[in-house]
Structure 1
Amino acid sequence: MNDYQVKLAKFKGEFTWHGHKDTDELFLVVSGSMRIEFRDKVIELSEGEMYVVPKGVEHKPVAERECHVMLIEPKGVVNTGDAQSTLKAENDVWV
């Protein structure tokens, strides 16, 4: 959509600390709950809630139980941002 991608993902546990220096990142919880940890605060999200992580802000998504999220971000954004991680997903894959 206009060079943006709507991505659906599910995860459980801790993700990698990372940031996206050139873009914001929108998280919308479709089912379950999660938190987004920042170096100075934590944002708790439940089903139906969303949060936009501002560009350049380091963060770490965490879900105690499996959580399904929708992300909206520009095409080409790597899920692990600027971090090197084994959790890096192949990018721009149609499912």
Structure 2
Amino acid sequence: MQVMTRCTIKPGEVERVLELLRAVYEELATVEPDGLRYASFQLDDGVSLVSFVELEHGPQTLQQLPAFQRYRTELAQACVEPPVTAVLQEVGAYRFH
């Protein structure tokens, strides 16, 4: 399963959200869960984030991490609107994997 999440963060909340997201990556580096690929990008407007997740074993792989739980809880309150998540159907990829 491949999923994309995008959101726009309130300007005063950007640094806090980025710190929480960095904590997720620190925990991922420690735990090294199998079957998970995760990448996040801050857009050039400075307030938008896009994350791409590839899950071989379902969303619980990511959702069980305490740092991710904190990030998602805080993100919901820090966004202008709730984050939008979409399941992706790959059409093609070149050196993406």
TM-score (norm 1): 0.36
The structure, 1 or 2, with the larger RCO (C-alpha pairs under 8 Å, 6+ apart) is 2
If the length of structure 2 is used for normalisation, what is the TM-score? 0.35
Q: Which of these two proteins has the greater Rg computed from alpha carbons?
A: 2
